[in-house]
Structure 1
Amino acid sequence: MKKDFIVGLITGLIIMILVVILYIGSNNLVEYLNLSGIYLGNQQEQELEVEDKFNILVQYLDRYYYEEINTEDLIENAFKGMLEGIGDPYTVYYNEEEYRRLLESTEGVYSGIGVVVTYDEENSQIRVLSPFIGSPGEKAGLLPDDIILEVDGISVEGMNLEEAVGLITGEEGTEVVLTIYRESEEREMDFPIIRETIDIPTVESEMLENNIGYIQITDFDSVTYNQFMEALEGLEEQNQQGLILDLRNNPGGLLHIVEAIADEMLSEGLIVYTEDKHGNREELRSDGSRSFDKPLVVLINQYSASASEILAGAIKDHEVGTLVGTTTFGKGLVQRPFPVGDGSGLKLTVSKYFTPNGHYIQDVGIEPDVTVEVPEELRNQLTFERDEDVQLHKALEIINDQLN
């Protein structure tokens, strides 16, 4: 009797399942059971197009996630995550607002605190590379190598460079608080800073002793070439006998701008060349119509990066000047912005660049011809008193020796 009951029960269950399958279809059975709280585990695998898989994930989140989902944010972050998956901190997706700020930042005018930051790949940290002289960040006391921990109480851990910059920049007159860690003092510090419109003076110049000219380039923005030429011509009118070109703490900038400046300094020949993943080579050359034929010293340090390394490397390989200071940052990759069409955009690493003699400097940098270390107690200072600047003193000494 008991055995007949069990057989009957099993038979009834089988018939019920067959009826359900016929009624709702086999493809929907799993979903029907899942909605009933019955999970079957592994289902039959099938190939899915990327778009189909993405839509399925969104549907699961929309239906089952315990809180409401902002689909627009979800999609934007999916785009960001796709590019972050490459593992290159310089290849980034920008939403419309971020892409607008990116384009503005190369025009020499934007609203923020006037500080260039970089991504420390080894330690996954956002670090201050260089505050602009006279900027809100410099006046507040930020220094090169400060590690940014938080912006307005929001941790930047896990953020890419552009996300952190997006928090730091903002409307003129508003306040932002940066929490940093200063390794040299082994402590955290808060810096309240009022944002300003930053009209970046990328070039400063003056005449030093014995008619030795001095030009400092802090960035290579769209305004830099004209500012450089104005400074160079002004020093020539004062009968300069030699030139010190200061690229210390210069984080780089626009490739075509550094090309134009190099063209003013070099005789005919190669300035830099790039190679993409297909081996295509593109050369930037000086036409030789103008060149600098007086004693020249270039000051560099560990914060001289990218475009400033292109200029320093070209001058070194052409043997038209002497590099003084410490080994440069070591960024030998070229990025280009690409609009998507809806206001958003990408910045992609598109090629490697090489100095005229074929040196690839990524993570290596350019070594100076004459190494001059800054005293340890001054290494985190953005500027020095003239009598403390041992690198500048060495540059003056080298040029004076050539003039005598």
Structure 2
Amino acid sequence: MQFKGRTVAAFVLLTMVASVLVTLTVTEGLYGIPSAALQSGTAPAVQAGQSGLSGEEMNKLNAVVSLIESKFYRDVDRNKLVDGAINGMMGALDDPYSVYMEKDTAKHFSEEVVGSFTGIGAEVTMENGKVVIVSAIKGSPAEKAGLLAKDVIVSVNGEKLAGVQLSDAVAKIRGPKGTKAKLQIMRDGVPQPIELELVRDEIDVETVFAKLRPDGIGVIEIRQFSLHTGERFAEELESLESRGMKGLVIDVRNNPGGVLPVVVSVAQPFVPEGKPIVMVEDRSGKREMTVSKGSGKPYPVAVLVNKGSASASEVLAGALGEAGGAVIVGETTFGKGTVQVSYDKVTGDGSLIKMTVAKWLTPKGNWIHEKGIKPDVEAKPPAIYTVPRLSRSAVLKKEAIGQNVRSLQVMLDGTGYEPGRKDGYFSDETEEAVIRFQRDSGLPATGQVDDRTATALELKVIERIRDERYDTQLQRAVEVVAERIGR
């Protein structure tokens, strides 16, 4: 898949084509993949010596199609049969990143990667038949609702997702701006399902944001590795350096990946000439190494990661950590170590096949797939960053028990209103904390959490999350850089 435009946001932000999201893509002729194959839209030659179906295999498929068309109890759509067969073949690969997109889905994908689009703002993939969150895009409805990497989406608006194709699951989640998506979520460590109601919105995500702190430490946040991210990063880096930057934090939290050559261009200035940035290994075990032409940097660098840092973000962390002398700060990353190519001319009808063609390895030859990259310095986010939104199904009041009350208590505690406990029991202390919040917010001081109070509290939470002073992960990364500057 080749990205166009200034961002891919959450590729389709749950308007996306699901597992296409967490994709490390390559472009024509890169890493030993024949350019002719990419130009023609056909896959590289089959190494086993056979390409396409044998006569016997073709006869078998034709026989099944004929049987269905002649004997099935009702008429069938022939196109659905063919699409179903292709989906079956892709499913047999047992690889969540290899998918078939039918014409309409592929068309939406091509349109949505260009710029702004609507959705809930989350990346998903399929793991063991379950729809799993990869990351929630910063500022999106998904992030505001508290969706986390590794959360499992059980149902959407009452429709169960178990056993459905990933593209079908995404179709149920996506929708026009302003419409609601009621999600049921399962999360490790939380025994009961979490009920969330998100309002789909238009999401236009810039990919690079930079600033120079008063202490001389620069922070560059990369939200996606789209085609223009490399250029934007170089511009911002040059600007920070020209202003006397002493050290740098590169923030790739909740960055789901993107285009491989782009992340290589971002990493190159930080890795000294001759050192490897990334290696790509094909199915025969042949490796091709990308070697840096950069010079390295004289100032200390930290790469800030979390559970939602995937694919290209992990390439960057691996390259700078193993070959560029950077310190990795945060949480263990998502763990996506494969490379995909999209073939949009194979079928000839506007549909698209995206397929995993190789592994990628860190400069030291480590394959981080399903393991992730462990940080050198661990830094967990505050609980308020990951708390689920409050359900509006009932008014919360004293003596109530459950996950919704626990979320309330975490929100109160994280915004400075001490509830006395955070175990999900609505105690006298919790009621007093609610009353204090309501008074400060100009609301009726009832001690009960109705829709108005819940909305006001969530807005307070969002305000707190956006305040850098309370971002303990970023502050830890800055401390690490500052310590190295002082050496």
TM-score (norm 2): 0.66
Cα-to-partner distance string for 1:124-165 (whole Å, 9 max, x where unaligned): 321233222233444566454443233454432223434333
Matched residue, 1:327? 332
TM-score (norm 1): 0.79
Matched residue, 2:283? 277
Equivalent position to 2:378, from 364, 371, 374: 371
What is the one-letter code of the residue matched to 1:402?
A: R
8 Å CA contact 2:120, 2:199 repeated in 1: yes
1:393 matched to 2:398 = no
Structure with more of its chain in strand, by fraction? 1
Query: What SS does structure 2 have at the residue aligned with 1:49?
Result: helix
Query: What SS does structure 1 have at the residue aligned with 2:215?
Result: helix
1:181 matched to 2:185 = yes
Number of residue pairs matched?
A: 353
> How far does residue 308 in structure 1 lie from its aligned partner after superposition?
0.5
What is the one-letter code of the residue matched to 2:289?
A: E
Matches of 1:86 and 1:263, distance apart in 2: 34
Distance 1:180 1:319, change over 3 A: same
Matched residue, 1:345? 352
Query: What SS does structure 1 have at the residue aligned with 2:356?
Result: strand
8 Å CA contact 2:251, 2:304 repeated in 1: yes
What is the one-letter code of the residue matched to 2:95?
A: D
Aligned pairs (5 A) from 1:239-278: 239-268=244-273, 269-278=275-284
> How far does residue 220 in structure 1 lie from its aligned partner after superposition?
1.0
Aligned pairs (5 A) from 1:3-402: 49-121=56-128, 124-139=129-144, 142-170=147-175, 173=177, 175-183=179-187, 184=190, 186-196=192-202, 198-268=203-273, 269-288=275-294, 291-339=296-344, 340=346, 341-375=348-382, 378-379=385-386, 383=465, 385-402=467-484
Distance 1:336 1:380, change over 3 A: farther
Please tell me whether Structure 1 or Structure 2 has the larger radius of gyration of its CA atoms: 1
Distance 1:86 1:145, change over 3 A: closer
Matches of 1:283 and 1:49, distance apart in 2: 41
Which region of structure 1 is more displaced relative to structure 2, 315-324 or 228-237? 228-237
Distance 1:215 1:109, change over 3 A: same
Instruction: Work out which structure has the larger RCO, using CA pairs closer than 8 Å and 6 or more positions apart in sequence.
Output: 2
RMSD (Å), alpha carbons: 2.6
Matches of 1:355 and 1:251, distance apart in 2: 17
Which region of structure 1 is more displaced relative to structure 2, 351-360 or 137-146? 137-146
Matched residue, 2:403? none
Query: What SS does structure 2 have at the residue aligned with 1:186?
Result: strand
Matches of 2:198 and 2:215, distance apart in 1: 43
> How far does residue 403 in structure 1 lie from its aligned partner after superposition?
2.0
8 Å CA contact 1:270, 1:356 repeated in 2: yes
Cα-to-partner distance string for 1:68-103 (whole Å, 9 max, x where unaligned): 212211211111011101111111111112223344
Distance 1:164 1:292, change over 3 A: farther
Which region of structure 1 is more displaced relative to structure 2, 147-156 or 224-233? 147-156
Matches of 1:284 and 1:380, distance apart in 2: 40
Q: Which runs of 5+ in 2 are unaligned?
A: 1-53, 389-461
Matches of 2:244 and 2:191, distance apart in 1: 45
8 Å CA contact 1:143, 1:380 repeated in 2: no
8 Å CA contact 1:202, 1:221 repeated in 2: yes
Matches of 1:400 and 1:194, distance apart in 2: 40
8 Å CA contact 2:181, 2:197 repeated in 1: yes
State the identity %.
36
Cα-to-partner distance string for 1:139-196 (whole Å, 9 max, x where unaligned): 56645444323345443222343433344345x5463524221534833424252342
Distance 1:227 1:163, change over 3 A: farther
Matches of 1:375 and 1:140, distance apart in 2: 15
Matched residue, 2:456? none
8 Å CA contact 1:146, 1:180 repeated in 2: no
> How far does residue 252 in structure 1 lie from its aligned partner after superposition?
1.1
Distance 1:51 1:110, change over 3 A: farther
Cα-to-partner distance string for 1:188-247 (whole Å, 9 max, x where unaligned): 424252342x33212222222411111111111123223222322332233211111111
8 Å CA contact 2:91, 2:99 repeated in 1: yes
Cα-to-partner distance string for 1:269-327 (whole Å, 9 max, x where unaligned): 21101111123322222212x54321111111222111101000001111421111122
Matches of 1:138 and 1:371, distance apart in 2: 22
Matched residue, 1:5? none
8 Å CA contact 2:299, 2:485 repeated in 1: no
Which region of structure 1 is more displaced relative to structure 2, 267-276 or 127-136? 127-136
Cα-to-partner distance string for 1:30-55 (whole Å, 9 max, x where unaligned): xxxxxxxxxxxxxxxxx972222222
